[in-house]
Structure 1
Amino acid sequence: MYKEIIERFIQAQNEAEAAYAAAASFEREQLRDHAAHTYAVSIRSQDRTASELEGFCISLAGGIVNRARREFAPPGGRLVLDDSAEHKRAGLDLHQDLRKGKTPDLDALWCSLQATYGAGGGARLAYQQAAQHLVRSFGLARRKEVERTASAVILRKTTHSEASGGSRRVGYHSQQPTAECLAALATFAGKAGENELARRLNSIGVHTFEYSYRQKLSLPGLDLVFFKDLWEFKFSHELAEQLMLFIGEYGASFMAERD
C-alpha cells in the first residue's frame, strides 16, 4: 500500500514536470525576442524534485509511526515511539534508498511495527513507560514511605509555577514533565478501568492550564492540590492500591535500578 502511494507521488511529479516543461517551452516560443531572465515559467531542477520526494517520504514514514502510536496504544493511554529507532528496527534508510534510486520500503516499516506492537505489545510497552514516568515523577523507591491519611494516599510532584494575571501557570521547564506525568496517570487509569479519570486527566492542557494557590481539582478517586512549586496528588485508598499494583507489575525493574 505505502509503496503504491510513493509510486503515485513520483508519477504525479513526472506529470507535473512534463506539464511545466511544456508550459515553459510554449512561453519561450511565443516570446522568442525576450531575454531569458524575463521568462515567467521556470523549469524544475532535478535537485528540487529529489528534495520534494525525500520530504514526502519522510512525512509518510512519520505518519506510519504515528499510526502505530494511535492503533497500538491502550484505550485512553499513550504509547511513545522513536521514529529513528523504528526505522532502524525495520532496516529502513530513507536517504540511502532515495540516493540509490530505490523506493523506500515503507510497507516493511508498517509490518515491523505490527509485529512489534500488535497483539498487546504496544499496550505492554505503554504501561511500562507510564510506570517509569510515575516512579520518576513521584520520586518513588522501594524503601520510601508513602504518606497515608485516613482518607487518602498522598504523592507529590515538583511542579514549578509562574504568575499569570491573578492565577498561576505551570512554569516552562515543568510543562513537559508535568504533561508526561498526567499522561502516565491517564494510561494507568485506563488500565484500571477508570475511564472517566483517564478522560479528565487527558483533558488537562498543561501549557494553558491556570490555577490558584492551594486550589483543589477533584477527579474520580483523585484530588489535585496546587502549590507554588509542587502538585499534591491525593488518591483514594482503593485507587492508590491499584496504582501500587500497576507500578509493581510494570515498573519493578525501573524501581530496582533506582535503589
Structure 2
Amino acid sequence: MYNQIIEKFIEAQHTARQAYLDAARFEREALAGTGTAEPFFAVGVRSEYRQEDELEKFCFALASNVVSRARREFAPVGARLDIDNNAEFDRAGLYIGKALKKGETPDLDKLWGSLSAYYNGDGGATTAYRQAAARIVRSFGLHRNAEVKRTASGVVLKKSVYSEAVWRSSRRRVGYHSTQHTADCLSGLATFAGKAGNAVLASMLGRINLHQLEYTSREKMSMPGLDITLFNDKWEFKFSNELAEPLMLFVGEYGQDAMQERH
C-alpha cells in the first residue's frame, strides 16, 4: 500500500514535469518573433535535482506517518507509546536516500510489516507500560532511593516542579524547564491509571494542560485515588492505599530497567 503511494507520487511528478515542459514549449512558440529572450519567459521547469529532493522529502514524510500510525494503533487505550523513527527505519532496513539513488522505491510496506511484527499484540502494550513506568521512576527519583512517605491513608511521592510568577498576578505557573518533565510524569501516571482500571483518573491526568495551569502554593488537585498538592518548587502526589499498591506493583513489573539507572 505505502509503496504504491510512492509510485503514484513519482507518476504525478513525471506528469507534472511533462505538463510544464509542454507549457514552456507552447509559450516559446507563441512568443517566437516577439524578441522575448530566454530569461524573460514566464513558464519555468523545475530541475531534476529539485524533483529528486521533493521525492526524498515526500518519502521521509510518508515514512514518519507510518511510524505515527503505529504509535496510535499499537498503544493501549488512552496510553502513550513512544517510537523513534530512525530506530524503526534501522530495524526494518529502510534507507530511503540509498534506495532512491539506486532508482528503487523505498520499501515502506516492509517498514509497516516490521512495526506490526514488533508492536502488535502485547508488544505495543508492554513497551508503553515500560516507558510509563520509567517516567514514573525518574520523575520521583525512585531509582535514587528517594523518600517514599507512607501515612495511614496512603503513600506520598514528591517531584521537583519549579514555578514562575504569572505576570501581574499572585499565581504561579510551571516553569519552562520543568514543563516537559512534569508532562512526562503525568503521562506515565495516566498510563498506569488506565491499566489499573481507573479510567476517570487516567482521563483527568490526561486533561491537565501545563501551559494553561495557574495555581497558588499549597493549592490541591483532587482526583479519584490521588491528591496533588502544588508548591512553588515541588508537587506532592498522595496516592490512596487502594491506588498505591497497584502503582508499586506496576513499577515493580515494568520499571526494573529504569530502577537500575544510577544517574
Structure 1 letter corresponding to 2:149? E
State the partner residue of 2:199.
195
Structure 2 letter corresponding to 1:45? S
In the alignment, is the contact (CA less than 8 A) between 2:155 and 2:240 conserved in 1? yes
Residues of 2 paired with 1:99 and 1:164: CA distance? 53
Structure 2 letter corresponding to 1:16? A
Deviation at 1:254? 2.4
Aligned mate of 2:44, from 42, 45, 57: 42
Moved more, 144-153 or 39-48: 144-153
Matched, 1:210 2:209: no
State the partner residue of 1:19.
19
Deviation at 1:256? 3.3
C-alpha offsets along residues 187-236 of structure 1, whole Å, 9 cap, x if unaligned?
10111011111111111122332222211111111111111111111111
Alignment of 1:236-251 (within 5 A): 236-251=240-255
C-alpha offsets along residues 112-146 of structure 1, whole Å, 9 cap, x if unaligned?
00000111101001101111111110011485551
How has the CA–CA distance of structure 1 residues 142 and 164 changed in structure 2, closer, same or farther, with 3 Å as cutoff?
A: closer
Q: Which runs of 5+ in 2 are unaligned?
A: none
Aligned with 1:211: secondary structure? coil
Aligned with 1:37: secondary structure? helix
Residues of 1 paired with 2:247 and 2:144: CA distance? 14
Matched, 1:178 2:182: yes
When normalised by structure 2's length, the TM-score is 0.95
Q: Which runs of 4+ in 1 moved over 3 A?
A: 141-145, 256-259
Moved more, 180-189 or 135-144: 135-144
Aligned mate of 1:136, from 128, 135, 138: 138
When normalised by structure 1's length, the TM-score is 0.96
Structure 1 letter corresponding to 2:46? R
Structure 1 letter corresponding to 2:120? G
Question: Alignment identity in percent?
Answer: 58
Residues of 1 paired with 2:4 and 2:12: CA distance? 12
